[in-house]
Chains A and B, each alone.
Chain A
Amino acid sequence: MSALTSRDVLRPGPTGFKAWAQRMVFALMPYFFAFLRRWKPVMKMGKTNYLTSRYDDVREVFATDPVFGVVYKPHLDVIMGDQPFFLGMGDTPEYRHDTDAMRKVVRADDLPLLAARTEAQAEKIVAEAGGRIDVVDTLVRRVTFTMLGDYLGVPDPPGGDLRVWGTRLFEFQFVDQGNDPALRKEVDEIAPALRMHIQNEIARRRIDTGNDDVLARCLALQKAGDAAYSDDFIRTSLMGFIVGGPPQPPMVVPQAMEQLLRRPQVLAEAQAAARADDDARLRGYVFEAMRFDPLAPGLPRVALADWTIGRGTSHATVIPAGAQVLAAFASAMMDPRRVADPKRFDPDRPASDYMHFGFGLHECFGRHINHATLHLMLKPLLRQPNLRRAAGKEGKLRKSGPFAERLVVTYG
């Protein structure tokens, strides 16, 4: 089957011993990070790779963007057809221009509507599920892609599935460090097709304006003569949002659900918040649950010049230009030097305890949307009586590499 018509959102993951070893690595990672934080806060791995594990050092790497640049450009060029996208840029005037332009069309006052749509959609899915639901695919992935697809103005491509296309490109962009040829082959099919699909939508919407969504706003500004909104810019930005945005909640929100299920008392409190319509409180529970199993162990950066991390401290380490640094934000959020009692589940933590969406220049563009919607994806489910894991293996979160694959719960 062609990648374009595939319905398998995730590629087949490893099986047997390899799968077991992968699970072990993820399970042992918190202990490994604790060891590193104590004994080797900046660790050299191989010839040119470093890993930072302490809160202060991770923040320093993210905050010092003139020295620690993003590594996304080569893969972005493949996805975008060599069109520049701000995710791959440093803090340049072009970066400021492009992000400012997108902030004009991705507005703060959209958040209440997005929140309402998210909750309504999740409500509908949970109601129709008949007391048994896969949190990953049936609930969160459907809600996310539908909600964000509608908001951005990018529907499913004819004959294709936006969930498959977006997730595959996400994997290529953010996960595939080994340049897997099989994945690249699929990307070489999907990326041009998605560009074409969005370009066709641009052409269609120019004639039929349709709903008030991000694409419509871009086209309105283009029509008004704003030179920033060229077709290339609109297409690339929407594509970037599709690749970087909706594939993430189906990873992290089920992981949060798994963490809640592991803590019956906390789950009961989160359910009470959901039933009381206390969205701020519920957000506290979901974001805190995410801290115990965040989106990824860390984010990579490349040193653009020689730099000393932790200068003036006992663990100061010189990072040579060209070296790659993994800023382990998962470890930073568990660093007792800066996060109070990190092993305790505390839904009232201050914002500074979290780095779910990165930090500094390249902090996730959609962080406000995430802030407004992630917890609401689980809210209708949490309101259900007798919510529990399904019997057997499918009642426990299964992962395929970094992707959440399946977590079935029952209720009622």
Chain B
Amino acid sequence: MRQTTLSVALEVKPESYDHLSSLLDRLRNRRSTDPSGGEGPFADFLTRVPALHFMSLSVFPGFDYDPLFVIEANFDGARGPFWAQLESAIGPDLRLMLRCCKRPLDNDGPLFDSIVAANARAPIAPYLERRALTPTVYHHGNRGMTRDRILAEHALFEATRVELRCANVDGPNPYRVLSPSQIHAKLRAALLPGFGWLDHSAPKRIPLADNIADWARLIGFVIAAVFALSIPGLILSLIMPTDRYFILLAVAFLGFAAMLGKIGVALPGTGVATRFSFLKLFFQQLLPLVLFVLGYLVIAVAIGTPISMLFTARSFDAAWHGMITWLLWGLACVPVTVAGIVFWLRVLERGDASQDAPPVDPKMLREMARREDWIPQNHMGSIVLIKPGILRMILIRAGHLGLGLVLRIVARQGYLGSMRTIHFAHWAMVNNKSRLMFFSNFDQTWESYLDDFIEKAHAGLTLAWCCGVGFPPTRFLVKDGASHGRQFKEWARHSMSVSRFWYSAYKNLTAEQIERNFRIAIGLRKRTLSDKDAALWINDL
């Protein structure tokens, strides 16, 4: 089943900031009041919002803007049913919170009025649905694992522990003398009565249709990017003689390269040694790049030839030949366009102001610290201003779109780079796309989480966040930036707010443990395993 990540960001009336914060605290303190909700914190959510994995309600204080109330939710299935379930669980509380928010000045005003008027009883789900933001980038750590499956497979894991520990309390453990495949068979036989679903085949985590769609979107993005980058060449090749066109390209490329050589080095005191190399990346990705370019040519010729025939009344042969020649001339311009953009970007980066000592409200820091590290998971929410300028605007959107599409392909079994500590994370733009919001539900402490990022995924992190005002100095979108560990952490802390209400449906499970449970369950679903496969499988027990 597809998982959904979204957020709703609503401007708060400044005078209602404290009241809204107290409402959130009150909701948090009212845990486990539903008598039919089982046991444990927020147990009612388990039964009343069965699709939910993680959810947070936060209010960000306003410095440059009015305060912002944010609902962040990560759940299974479609949005509509989720909002209905959430309203059923905490509808009256949410209505009180919405009354602290400002009336939207766009077309949603009447809908807002209908839910916050005195004694209003209209459903709030339509309004929340209307105001929901689509993430610009998101990452699902345990992709394709529904909440029920995660809980069921963890129950299975616990049962394996009991079975292995208690198989023969008074004597030698019978499992010790068995071969790996015999251990598998015995364990499966012992667990099957309590877990009948082991006899059924496992649902696919990523269905074929989703897989195809992920690839199609990425291919579409790359082809569109190649086309966009070749537009200057396509235009110039129409108005310039060929020889002069190529001379212009060569001159421009050499000029940009020379200037980049001059300004591409890190500014004094801002460079961080890194193994990341554009050249290395280029050669690593050369084959897919060539395939993408060939794909671009095929698709563009297929679309362009009939159009050319229509407009110019040329024969098929002439139109086809003319089109491919024109596209190739356009492609020749791509390196020059890229060099020009990189040069422009580098000029901007050199002028960026980074914040060396971002102020952090000590009271808020204490509040954050008070709520962190109670369970193996933690939560963070942050909002930063986006740097101005048209190039930045284009790069942020294209960069986030591309990063998001790449993550759907490469981050499929818990890993993001070499990290496996994130359950759900996403970025979204708020305040008319002038601020960037980030939410993450992760394992371990906030410090170690960011250290992991800095060590293992600093390039991606820098790409996603370098557009933030005050971000540590960056080179070429991905270099340096988050590698300035201490400065980056201070900047991140400065942008965060207290997670006043935070819910996790499986608070004791790390992303790693969920994958481990998954592997154990997959093994136990199989009626038999060879000794070789079983030997690998028992490593997880």
A interface residues with partner B (beta carbon < 8 Å)? 55-56, 59-60, 63-64, 66, 308, 310-313, 316, 336-341, 348-353, 360
Contacts and interface: CB of A to CB of B under 8 A. Distances in A.
A312 B108 contact: yes
Q: Is the interface of A mostly helix, strand, loop or mixed?
A: loop
B181 interface: no
B85 A350 contact: yes
A341 B111 CA distance: 26
A353 B50 CA distance: 11
A350 B110 contact: no
Given A63-B121, A350-B49, A340 B88 contact: no
Contacts of B80: 336-338
Contacts of B406: none
Q: Is the interface of B mostly helix, strand, loop or mixed?
A: helix
A-B residue pairs, 6 tightest by C-beta = A312-B111, A352-B88, A312-B110, A338-B84, A340-B81, A63-B121
Contacts of A349: 50
B93 to A, nearest CB: 15
Given A66-B119, A338-B80, A340-B77, A351 B48 contact: yes
B255 interface: no
Given A55-B84, A60-B122, A350-B85, 7 more contacts: A56-B122, A64-B122, A310-B126, A339-B81, A350-B47, A350-B48, A352-B84
Nearest to A348: B50
Given A339-B81, A339-B84, A340-B81, A56 B126 contact: yes
B195 to A, nearest CB: 14
Nearest to A352: B88
Interface in B117-157: 119, 121-123, 125-127, 148
Contacts of B109: 312
A286 B89 CA distance: 23
A60 B404 CA distance: 38
A66 B120 CA distance: 10
Interface string B62-88: 000000000000000110110111011
A352 B111 contact: no
A119 B348 CA distance: 77
Interface of B: 47-51, 77-78, 80-81, 83-85, 87-89, 108-114, 119, 121-123, 125-127, 148
A311 B111 contact: yes
A12 to B, nearest CB: 42
A21 to B, nearest CB: 35
A338 to B, nearest CB: 4
Nearest to B76: A340
A56 B123 contact: yes
Contact of A312 (B51, B83, B114, B125): B114
A313 B114 CA distance: 10
Given A63-B121, A340-B51, A312 B112 contact: yes
Contacts of A55: 84
B61 to A, nearest CB: 29
B162 to A, nearest CB: 21
A70 B87 CA distance: 24
Contact of B87 (A66, A341, A352): A352
Interface centre among A351, A352, A353 (most CB of B within 10 A): A352
Contacts of B77: 340-341
Contact of A59 (B48, B85, B123): B123
13 contacts: A60-B121, A308-B114, A312-B108, A312-B109, A312-B112, A313-B111, A316-B110, A339-B81, A339-B84, A350-B48, A350-B85, A351-B47, A351-B88
A63 B48 CA distance: 19
Given A55-B84, A352-B84, A352-B88, A338 B125 contact: yes
Contact of A311 (B84, B88, B114): B114
B84 A313 contact: no
Contacts of B121: 60, 63-64, 360
A350 B123 contact: no
Contacts of A338: 80-81, 83-84, 125
Contacts of B127: 312
A308 B50 CA distance: 32
A59 B51 CA distance: 21
B113 A311 contact: yes
Contacts of B108: 312
A353 B51 CA distance: 13
